[in-house]
Structure 1
């Protein structure tokens, strides 16, 4: 596989992925997915691809020649077999790999796929259902429209410490909700 440095870096990160979902990092995964939706919307606006948002081959839209060769993509995907990867994950990984071959892009646009890769790194895949993105089979993030997401402020801190804080806050909210449900159940039963 003859690839550039950014492709090789992505392949190394992909090599550590497990696609089975875990709720351990739901809080941070929601934040990361929201940031991906924002970045993808910015790219969709810049490239005139609003109808393809939120998950599309951004590199091909920017430059149709920006593609990693099929043999290399197949080799990367073959290395991920048996880890719970879904068909949509394969498609998104191809989009990420293609993006690493893009040499130039519109000024001011961020790397769209970094937050999506981090969603995978922090606990597996995700699903799409009835206009929302499901994280950890519990939380849904509404897709709505790209204009709404493009207009949001960027997430200022995606460091491991900040993401861990989002997870702790999410877990505290989940436990509080469970406590309220339990208390309400005890009141109606008693």
Structure 2
């Protein structure tokens, strides 16, 4: 998370297209995880059906509730976020990604067919800091992504490449 340039407000315009596409990819991946984890039983799934919790929630807690990030690392993240991050929502995302990174291969062995849900979000943040939710949209100033139910994202096409060059090319197309 320290690679995030929180001061880069201009990236809302420069990297807006790629950041919006990365958010769509996160929504798709998170929806795949919700669909898979709902198969485990009737236990409520982090309020994923609740608009107050979808789409940003702690997937790692459902995969293996025994696994949490080390307390010292979580405290360092919280201190860093309180000084640099743009709001509660970004902090929620960063904490969930930290817990995800703490999962072992053993914890994830039951789900070898599912992608890392947080990879697109971390890339999104590295390409220009935060975002907000307003009026049913995830807002990146010059670009927006409609916030819909998780079920709406399960069949979305995946992003082809998450490389810096591919994301820069997407932004270049948008600038034309």
Query: Do they superpose with TM above 0.5?
Result: yes
CA distance in 2, matches of 1:129, 1:61: 28
Is the 1:19–1:85 Cα contact (8 Å) retained in structure 2?
yes
Deviation per residue, 1:85-143 (Å, 9 max, x gap): 312211211101100121222121100000000010001101011221001x2221002
Alignment of 1:1-190 (within 5 A): 14-20=1-7, 21=9, 22=11, 23-48=13-38, 49=45, 50-51=48-49, 52-103=53-104, 104-105=107-108, 106-135=111-140, 137-172=141-176
Provide the secondary structure at the position in 2 that maps to 1:77.
helix
Structure 1 stretches of 4+ moved >6 Å: none
Q: CA RMSD in A?
A: 1.6
Provide the secondary structure at the position in 2 that maps to 1:54.
coil
Provide the secondary structure at the position in 2 that maps to 1:79.
helix
TM-score, L = length of structure 2: 0.82
CA distance in 1, matches of 2:118, 2:137: 19
Deviation per residue, 1:161-181 (Å, 9 max, x gap): 110111011112xxxxxxxxx
Q: Structure 2 regions of 5+ residues with no counterpart? A: 39-44
CA distance in 2, matches of 1:138, 1:25: 10
Provide the secondary structure at the position in 2 that maps to 1:141.
strand
CA distance in 1, matches of 2:130, 2:80: 16
CA distance in 1, matches of 2:67, 2:6: 26
Question: Does 29-38 or 150-159 show the bigger shift?
Answer: 150-159
Larger radius of gyration: 1
Larger helix share, 1 or 2: 1
Instruction: State the structure with bigger RCO (CA 8 A, min sep 6), 1 or 2.
Output: 2
TM-score, L = length of structure 1: 0.77
CA distance in 2, matches of 1:78, 1:18: 16
Q: Structure 1 regions of 5+ residues with no counterpart? A: 1-13, 173-190
Deviation per residue, 1:64-97 (Å, 9 max, x gap): 1121133321112323443343122112111011
